[in-house]
Chains A and B, each alone.
Chain A
Amino acid sequence: MAPFNLLYYRPDTVDQALDLFRILSKEQHHPAFYGGGTEILTRVRVQDARFDAVIDLKAIPEVLVHREYQGSAEFGAGLRLTHVANRNLWPLLTATADRVADHTVRSQITLGGNLLSALPYREAILPFLMSDSAEAKVATIGGMRTHRVRDRYDQTFKLKPGDFLVSLVVDGHEIQGLAFKSRKMTRIDWIDYPLVTIALIRRRNGGIRAAFSGWAGFPFVSSRVDKILSNGRRSPSDRAKDAVEHMPMPALSDTHGSRAYREFVTQYTLAGMLEELEEET
């Protein structure tokens, strides 16, 4: 790809980044926050993006935080997916994030980039959607704000223009010792977008939570589905069937798979995962 029109900035602080966005916007530029670049560069090439300035967040220490701290774990939005997986602070996050794209690309994609992707998949968000405690630190002109991830999630994680995701924090009790399963099902290839990716956790009270990607145009959780799956008196395959019938929206039909086939795959995958999860716990 030939060089394209771009202004590049790599601020060192959160405030610099926020200011830059404001100034560039005022100057009639179209700035974008920049993580690993994999999505931005592919979209620029096919002329599917409208911006002429990027603010690379990877030099800001808060964005690179990766720590266990006061009983919580914190993941900077600028962490590469391979770093998240290698350090493995949260095994469920490792399991979902480690199935995005391919290994080389995962060493470029950042956590924030995946969570906020324009593509429908964003598998790394699934663990956060299932968590009660997950909070997002968002940099805003008015200072650092903390939001419950679920509260700000409606098909996408909502950010105001000019704000950016700094990091995500999850309570230790949600990442330690909770049984989980994560499975990505594709048309046939290992490296492909999902027909459906399913993540399940079994909470300490025995309840099951599920999150899905690939089924629809965005990742989602559903309390109705969770309720169905949590009914331990019914067999895993009955629950899976019921869950598929009560998904909040119909399954997609595309070149990866038809709607009926997605339902079929989701059902047997869910049944198998429930069975394994309950055998283990």
Chain B
Amino acid sequence: MTIIGTSVRRKEASSKVTGRARYTNDMNVPGTWHALFVPARQAHAKIVGIHTADARKVAGVQTILTAGDLAPLLTGDVTEDRPPLAKDKVRYWGEPVALIVARDESAAQKAASLIKVRYRPLAVVNSIQDALKANAPLVHDNIGSYTVATPPASPRKHSNIADEANMIKGDPDRFLKKCSVRVKVQVSLPQIDHAAIEPRIAKAEILPDGRVLIQASTQSPFEVQKQVAKYFKLNPGQIIVQVPLVGGAFGGKAAIQLELLAYLASRAVGGHTVKLVNTREADMATSPVGMGMEAEVELGATQDGMIQAAQMRFYMDIGAYTDSAPRIARAIAAQCTGPYNIEHLHTDVFSVYTNHTYTTAFRGFGHMPMTFAVERAIDELAKALDQDPLRLREQNALAPGHLTPTKARLTRSNLGHLPLCIEQMRRVIRWNQAAVEPIDAHRVRATGVAAFWKTSSSPPNAISGAITLMNSDGSVNLNIGAVEFGPATKTTAAQILAEQLRIPIDQVFVHEDVNTAVDPEHWKTVASLSTYMVGRAVMDAADDMVRQLKSIAAAILRCSPDDLDYGGEKIFVRDDPTIALRYQDLALGYKYPEGDSIGGQIMGRGRFMIRHLNLLDQQTGHGRPGPAWTVGVQAVEVEYHRITHQYRILKAATVLDAGQVINPKAAAGQVMGGMNMGLGIASREAVHYDAQGQFLSNQFRSYRVMRVGEQAEQYLVEFVETPQVDSPFGARPLGEHGVLAIGAALANALSRAANIPLNVLPLTPEVIWRAKGGKAYGAL
């Protein structure tokens, strides 16, 4: 092995440092028309009337659509509850109410300013508490009539509960009572925004022959193809979705929203090419954000710190529409223990509708807020037991032979090695048993730790594929259906192919874009699954190519394919490598010196389908939710000022079981970036709504993310490698994971430093100050 485990440069690197990397908005066909939606300026209101007459008179305006112009349509990943344009009422501030198509952007904007929407305001469901009150106003009046397109989901009629997922294992009630030590923690996390720097964008065109061309910044090209076909009664084959490089995604571009509007816009103007691009404000307030959460976690343990039982309730602020919430809820339920063995367990996860912006997947698929709740509870348990928090985690760690909450059996292959990670972490951060060290009269230094696990909650029939084509020089083109939005997915696939074909990485050309018309289907580029799924498909394709090379070479060299081996871009006879054919001699078929030719282009076909997964049982939650669980431990060291409650993040560290690191620099970069994002989320990020439900955080001025100088002073990443045997070279997923427990580690560090449980995010100095009593300065 030479290419696996080396830090090869990402394939599109030179394009990205020269400004030549092209994203969706960098490729505009002259003559493209502009679509623009008018966002609701009420959070919950009946639409009394939409006045468009003045807007229609603006020169250049082609058409204006409102829900009344469309056949009734409800969309949704799981429960179909969302109209592409608000119908009868608006359910969140920012919801698209009307859609303008104009010759140019200026005309569209002019028209937008002339559209008058008359509303009759309704009582706003502005929080989870509001939503759950008796006689709460209903975000959806008729939940019972909705189609659950992708079960499971359990909407509760005449309520704001979009879904409820439950998980029961053992006898939690009885065992919790028997525990000598019990802790209970309540956490509260606001909604957050993905804040990819490239705003979402979609373009659509309908050709005279009926084909639909969609170009978009999406993680789900094949899902866009299927949904557009389904909602608009087309054949999937008619729909061609093309995705160039994507400028950051983080789960937010897995949801399908602008693509549907762009299609509707194009259809309304005779199929003309139409572009719909979010402003930053729309990207934050109108397109889906990440869920908020309120949760309660109770743990019971023996005096020596063995966790016996747990009871948990998670309430997710999913906003106005369901999108993928029920799937996230089941992911939370299935992994709700964190990487710990808890025999007796009862967990309920509620997806709660509010008049907030609707939500979708966010890096970690619910594991980040879930981990925050659980890891805060574990740390409080350590405090209650007066035990080393790393030691507590180590002694309760899940191990091969244990069952997960959903009673899936764990093996050395499908579970990473948490105790090894913890052992290594002690060294990495020079573990001091979580002691709080004074620096001077007011400042202290403290370290917090937290552990995570995550599986990839894919559907049980998720597929991937790879098509490889050999060029005349023996180099290989690689086509896969996974989108490149940052994690070097394409490069990893190229590394795997190069390794399998035993050719230099430079001899692999991986197609940067995804095009559903030519690329094999890949479920979605989500869940950190690409290395596993695409990788397996690529290996399959490589095997296919080798078989073809051997078969043709066997004929030419007059031997059995079994006599042949390959390497150095050659096929050769195993016992006499001088009898050989170069790949390039076979790539496009072989021509004998006399001119006769045999074969044809060498082209590989690789497929992969997830196996052995199932939908979790509706009552007990039991089943097998994902192929394997990546584990890791994270630590944060802070310097905290006891008077001002200001703090600096000195160190952030992750030790993760990567199985086998395919590209060390790319892997470390993923994890470091994840930590930075997670620390930003935990320390400052929050979507704010005012009392009327107006979205207040729709710019980077009001939605604060980390900037240079605010990141941890040191990021440390180390890997443990215990292979996942069914994954390419044993590699485990790691793309999302840097984000998962780092916020909990920060809260654990600050809770120790401030000597008070800190369970509310984001952890601004004001939040800590309030937790400490919120007293005036000098009254301390």
Contacts and interface: CB of A to CB of B under 8 A. Distances in A.
Real binding pair: yes
Interface of A: 2-4, 45-47, 187-193, 237-238, 240-241, 255, 257-258, 260-261, 263-265, 267-268, 271
A260 B710 contact: no
Given A2-B104, A47-B113, A255-B702, 16 more contacts: A3-B106, A45-B279, A46-B281, A187-B704, A188-B704, A189-B684, A189-B704, A190-B709, A191-B707, A192-B701, A237-B778, A241-B776, A241-B777, A261-B769, A264-B769, A268-B643
Interface string B107-119: 0010001000000
Interface string B243-254: 000000000000
A240 to B, nearest CB: 8
Contacts of A268: 643-644, 777
Contacts of B617: none
B447 interface: no
B548 interface: no
5 contacts: A45-B279, A47-B109, A189-B684, A255-B702, A257-B766
A227 to B, nearest CB: 20
Contacts of A237: 777-778
A261 B106 contact: no
A267 B106 contact: no
Nearest to B281: A46
Nearest to A238: B778
Q: Which 3 pairs of residues, A with B, have the shortest CB-CB distance?
A: A2-B105, A267-B777, A268-B777
Interface residues of B, number: 31
B764 interface: yes
Contacts of B778: 237-238, 240-241, 267
B765 interface: yes
Contacts of A45: 279
Nearest to A187: B764
Interface of B is mostly: loop
A105 B105 CA distance: 26
A266 to B, nearest CB: 9
Contact of A188 (B279, B709, B765): B765
A10 to B, nearest CB: 23
Contact of A192 (B106, B704, B765, B777): B704
Contacts of B158: none
Nearest to B684: A188
Interface of B: 104-106, 109, 113, 279, 281, 643-644, 683-684, 688, 696-697, 701-702, 704, 707, 709-710, 762, 764-766, 769-770, 774-778
B769 A193 contact: no
A257 B701 CA distance: 14
A264 B770 CA distance: 11
A2 B109 contact: yes
A188 B701 contact: no
A189 B707 contact: yes
Contacts of A255: 688, 696-697, 702
A190 B697 CA distance: 18
B305 to A, nearest CB: 35
Contacts of B105: 2
B539 to A, nearest CB: 46
A195 B35 CA distance: 39
Contacts of B104: 2
B428 to A, nearest CB: 27
A261 B772 CA distance: 12
A255 B769 CA distance: 16
A238 B105 CA distance: 58
A262 to B, nearest CB: 9
Nearest to A5: B106
B106 A2 contact: yes
A263 B764 contact: no
Contacts of B774: 260-261, 264
Contact of A258 (B688, B697, B765, B766): B766
B38 to A, nearest CB: 12
A127 B109 CA distance: 41
A267 B696 contact: no
B684 A190 contact: no
A17 B76 CA distance: 57
A267 B776 contact: yes
A144 B697 CA distance: 43
A257 B684 CA distance: 12
A193 B702 CA distance: 9
Contacts of B770: 261
A4 B709 contact: no
A193 B704 CA distance: 11
Given A237-B777, A241-B777, A258-B766, A188 B106 contact: no
Most buried by A among B683, B697, B764, B766: B766
B750 to A, nearest CB: 12
